[in-house]
Amino acid sequence: MNCKIFNKYLFFCHNVRIEVSHIQFMLKKYLLLLSFFLLVIPVNAQVKNSELIIDNWTFHSLHSIKSYPAAVPGTIQTDLYENGLIPDPFFGDNEKSLQWISDSVWVYETKFQVSPDWLNQPNIKLIFEGIDTYADVFLNDSLILKTNNMFHSWEMNVKNLLKPGINALRVVFFPPDSSQKAIPGGNRVYHRKAQYQFGWDWGPVLKTMGMWKPVKIHVQPELQLEDVYITQDFISENEVKITVQGKVKGKNGVCQVAIQNAQSHEVYVGSTIRTISEEQPFVLSFLLKNPRLWWCHGMGEAYLYPFRVELSEMSILHDVKTIPTGIRKIELVQEKDSIGQSFYFKLNGKQIFAKGANWVPAESFLPRLTDSVYESLINDAVASNMNMLRVWGGGIYENDAFYRLCDEKGILVWQDFMFACGMYPWNDEFLKSVETEAVYQVKRLRNHACLALWCGNNESNEGWHNWGWQKEFEMTARDSTEIWHGYQKLFHSRLPRLVDSLNHGTSYHASSPLYGWGRKESLAYGDQHYWGVWWGMEPFQKYIEKTGRFASEFGFQALPDMKTLAAFCDANQLYMFSPQLKSHQKHATGYETIETYMKRGYPLPEKLDDFVYVSQVVQADGMKIAMEAHRRAMPRCMGSLYWQFNDCWPVVSWSGIDYYGRWKALQYQVKRSFEPLIVSCLQSYDSVSVYIVNDSYKPYVGKLICTVADFKGKIEGQTEIKVSVPAFGSVFVLKVAMPVKGMQGKYLLAEFQTNNIKARAIHYFRPVVTLKLPKASPEITFETVGERIYALLNSKVLMKNVCLLSENEDAKFSDNYFDLLPGEEKKVEIKVNGKLPDIKQLKVRCMNVFVKEY
């Protein structure tokens, strides 16, 4: 016997008490431990799992007998498309002509075979892991289930309805009812269905139906584990108490539960459990000394302990749950201060400046999502120096792959419950459905190290107080009181109580934001959605004074890459504001708003590809102002989550990464502005203030060199000073005087140098459209190192917003939309789907073409 394992069991059998001599006591104790050890180490290496995935589905309309092959998981829209019955819903303006689909009744059918041996088992479950949304389920022509919520699984014991051999399963899908009383948010709020499917200002109206997750028959074994939950309590800095609780489900008797490390096989604790009910709870605890902590990206290693929970009986292994667990303590700190009230996160006792974005579903047709799509997007978040993503409340509770990857990569998750921009029903039936949903999702997600916060809803509180809903819906005082009391019941009572009981220690925030952007309180309390820019048409510079305590939404639109436009437009529709382009702009004044901001400081191109390029530069520049304002304002402001990270279909939107995974200029700017150490410039009338921001916990000592030069490289002034940059701080360093006139042909380079680290900012004194940019002709050479290829760019003059693009390939660049200084060499790695790029396809464009020297 491994002595280390034996000693573990010795420590945790403190409840054994034998009133005999010391020698007899020790002898009996060792024998008892030995017998227990033999019981919990299973003889067989495999867990018997009787499960059948139900496939081979067909579908047909209620009014047609002709059937077609169906995919499960899937949706009715994708099934119709794959069978050639409808055009691509994403192409052109097809979306409009396909609305009949979600107004129809659809029937899905299959047959499956059941082994006679299975019917000897007491519990045989039919499980729908996700069904969207309203359906009647028939098994062998018996109605067994009516569903109304896509956010939790549906299951029932069907033993008495199954027969040996062939069984028939039929699912009839119905459209969402649209006859309810109008309340804020419209008809969609009555349906526990992804709200974005009803249309948003970045998404189409595509109300899917179908079994969007697997369907299976599960034969419950004699014993199984359920609701395993791992909690942590830090006893000291170097010691944490791990508690594993759960239920043993099955027959009465005696069984053993053991917790071990799935990699090292070290056994932490084990216990014999006597089951006297169908669901026998258990609690096991052990101490972990000097634990390796889980840290978010940029603060350390996202280490996960591979805890393995085993359930056995008389050396027979019945069930296993492996739960990767990060040892960490996450807190949302909201404390009164001289400004108002703080809003920031602490991880393992250290403050975090949250850098990230808002995540929307990455697909309109959810079953299309694969683990590789999630991996690509989460890797993009890591590459962009992010440490947090907010799962927005109008989408879905994301797939397991999303949270697993966030655990592994160190991306914290702000998790909204799925409520957005509306007031929701408060009747008992609706609240019961929501409670089932919330219990299911909290239990599903609570073991994830990445989970930082539960939030009740997106903008419902703000909408009620600021968007004029009472007047719009002609509410009486009684109506208003009733709706508000219903809101409070759900978001201030039911959900927080449920989170506290099932996920104790994880903070709950009732609504994001706490105050609307037009109210002064939004700058002093809670999180902030600042939409004065875009919705309010305020200049980008307004971000500088409107930082708030935690910016959880702000954003600006840009067009996606031309290859993305070509994917949903006919060739003859690739011109400015064509009907097909308009159908993929869901904001009522989206194109006009982009043009308005362009006219304030940028050239206004006439050709579509030029307009795409300039729109992306405008978006990136505007978000740079916001992100760096937030970071300069730390510790007053402690978070910067822009709207939005990704897209659910090819569209003109606020995203930094489009539907096909192509980075806009914004994403490259995010990568730069979210570096742990940045130099940031802030211009006033006659000077430029230079700041250094450091959100790492390492102080730096170095020198700041500020150089003013013209666009051909002639240096006109230079200052160098020694600088000490504190850990986790923002410091003002110096002010550079600036003449009021004659600066259209000059720039400021502020560069901080320390050891092998350089951080710099390039600042222009005048709006882009007024700059005297010289004609540029870059020199490009290529360098191959092993399987990597690099482009080396040189220019004798400044090139602004240099964009590398590959016309016929989807190339990814290590940097793009950058400024190339005179005489400087820029090295950029190029990747094309894991292969070497065709360098003949590489093109270069820059702002110098549009803004010329006069």
Give the tens place of pLDDT for each residue, 259-272.
999 999 999 999 99
Mean pLDDT in residue range 422-439: 97
DSSP-assigned letter for residue 733: E
Lookup result for tokens 């002898």: 27
In the chain, the amino acid numbered 786 is: G
Quote the crossing angle between the two packed helices 608-632 and 590-599, to the nearest 10°.
70
The pLDDT assigned to 422 comes to 97
By mean pLDDT, which of 622-636, 638-652, 741-755, 823-837 is the weakest? Answer: 823-837
The pLDDT assigned to 122 comes to 84
Residue 84 has pLDDT above 60, yes or no: yes
The kind and range of the H/E element at 845 are: strand 842-845
pLDDT by residue (tens digit) across 528-561?
A: 999 999 999 999 999 999 999 999 999 999 999 9
The pLDDT assigned to 38 comes to 41
* Residue 9 pLDDT level (bands cut at 50, 70, 90): very low
Residues near 87 by beta carbon (within 8 Å), at least 6 away in sequence: 81, 94
pLDDT by residue (tens digit) across 210-247?
A: 999 999 999 988 899 999 999 999 988 899 999 999 99
Q: What are phi and psi of 113, to 5 degrees?
A: -105, 135
Mean pLDDT in residue range 756-767: 94
The pLDDT assigned to 17 comes to 31
Tell me the average pLDDT of the chain. 92
DSSP reduced 3-state for 175 = coil
The pLDDT assigned to 178 comes to 77
The pLDDT assigned to 836 comes to 67
Question: Can you spell out the DSSP letters for 256-286?
Answer: EEEEEETTT--EEEEEEEEE-SSEEEEEEEE
The pLDDT assigned to 1 comes to 38
Nearest to 153 by CA among 205, 211, 80, 112: 211
In the chain, the amino acid numbered 777 is: S
The pLDDT assigned to 32 comes to 39
Residue 3 has pLDDT above 70, yes or no: no
* Residue 8 pLDDT level (bands cut at 50, 70, 90): very low
Residue 448 has pLDDT above 90, yes or no: yes
Lookup result for tokens 């600006």: 556
By mean pLDDT, which of 45-54, 148-157, 592-601, 801-810 is the weakest? Answer: 45-54
The pLDDT assigned to 26 comes to 42
The pLDDT assigned to 834 comes to 62
Lookup result for tokens 């459905």: 433
More confident residue, 641 or 117: 641
* 3-state SS, one letter per residue, for 404-416: HHHHHHCCEEEEE
Domains and CATH numbers, the chain: 50-217 (2.60.120.260), 354-673 (3.20.20.80), 676-766 (2.60.40.10), 768-854 (2.60.40.10)
Mean pLDDT in residue range 149-156: 98
User: For the chain, what percent of residues have pLDDT higher than 90?
Assistant: 83
Q: Are 372 and 661 spatial neighbours (Cβ–Cβ below 8 Å)? A: no
* Residue 832 pLDDT level (bands cut at 50, 70, 90): confident
Mean pLDDT in residue range 581-610: 96
Nearest to 353 by CA among 726, 696, 761: 696
The pLDDT assigned to 742 comes to 86
Mean pLDDT in residue range 154-168: 96
* Residue 15 pLDDT level (bands cut at 50, 70, 90): very low
The pLDDT assigned to 788 comes to 86
**Widest Cα–Cα separation across the chain:** 102
The pLDDT assigned to 49 comes to 56
By mean pLDDT, which of 32-36, 365-369, 529-533 is the weakest? Answer: 32-36
The pLDDT assigned to 20 comes to 36
Q: Are 723 and 702 spatial neighbours (Cβ–Cβ below 8 Å)? A: yes
pLDDT by residue (tens digit) across 473-526?
A: 999 999 999 999 999 999 999 999 999 999 989 999 999 998 989 899 999 999
The pLDDT assigned to 234 comes to 93
Quote the crossing angle between the two packed helices 3-11 and 22-40, to the nearest 10°.
110
* 3-state SS, one letter per residue, for 774-824: CCCCCEEEEEEECCEEEEEEECCCCEEEEEEEECCCCCEECCCCEEECCCC
Q: Are 581 and 573 spatial neighbours (Cβ–Cβ below 8 Å)? A: yes
Nearest to 826 by CA among 785, 779, 787: 779
In 619-647, which positions are buried (b, 16+ CB within 10 angstroms) versus exposed (e)? Answer: bbbbbbbbbbbbbbbbebbbbbbbbbbbb
Residue 18 has pLDDT above 60, yes or no: no
Nearest to 279 by CA among 244, 243, 252: 252
pTM value is 0.92
Mean pLDDT in residue range 58-86: 97
How many angstroms separate the CA atoms of 155 and 492, rounded?
Answer: 30
The pLDDT assigned to 50 comes to 80
DSSP reduced 3-state for 565 = helix
